[in-house]
Structure 1
Amino acid sequence: MPWFVKIERGVVDKPVFDRYVAAHRAYVRQLIDQGHRAKTGYWGELGGGMMIFEADSQAIAQIIIAEDPLIKNHCVDYELHEWKIVEE
């Protein structure tokens, strides 16, 4: 399965963002349970973060991202890219 990367930038105040962090983490655990091998985190020096995951296609990756609570609640702007790994 191809890997995808969601690079995000926060667009709401931290108290608003923090309301959805638990739901986002639960969503990532659900993706892991479904076999998407998802990982999520945030930048130490900047506002925003990244999630990597596997999906069958760009279209499926977009559907996965659309269901992320951070996206559904308009907490972040994001870019979605297919990540072509050249060496593991």
Structure 2
Amino acid sequence: MPWFVKIERGIVDKTTFDRYVSAHQEYVRNLIAKGHQAKTGYWGDFGGGMLLFQADSLEDAKTIVAQDPLIFNHCVEYELHEWCIVVMD
């Protein structure tokens, strides 16, 4: 399965954003359980974050991202890209 990356930038205040963090974490756990090998985190030096995951196609990746509570609740703007790995273990 190809890898995809969602790079995001917060667009709401922290209080609003924090309301959806638990739902986002559960969403990522669900992706992991479904075999998407998801990883999520935020930038330590500026606002925003990233979600790295596997999907069958770009269309599948778009559908997956649309279900993220941070997207669904308009907390972030994002870019979605296929990530082409050139070196692996």
Scaled by the length of structure 2, the TM-score of the pair is 0.98
Structure 2 residue matching 1:30: 3-state secondary structure = helix
Quick one: distance in 2 between partners of 1:56 and 1:46?
Answer: 31
**Aligned partner letter, 1:80:** L
Runs of 4+ in 1 over 3 A off after TM superposition: none
Q: Report the counterpart of residue 69 of structure 2 in structure 1.
A: 69
Identity, in percent, stands at: 69
Instruction: Give unpaired runs (5+ residues) of structure 2.
Output: none
- Cα deviations by residue, 1:1-35 (Å, 9 ceiling, x for unpaired): 00000000000000000000000000000000000
Structure 2 residue matching 1:85: 3-state secondary structure = coil
Structure 2 residue matching 1:53: 3-state secondary structure = strand
Instruction: Give unpaired runs (5+ residues) of structure 1.
Output: none
Q: Report the counterpart of residue 37 of structure 1 in structure 2.
A: 37
Scaled by the length of structure 1, the TM-score of the pair is 1.00
Quick one: distance in 1 between partners of 2:87 and 2:19?
Answer: 38
**Aligned partner letter, 1:18:** D
Matches within 5 A, 1:53-64: 53-64=53-64
Q: Report the aligned-residue RMSD.
A: 0.2
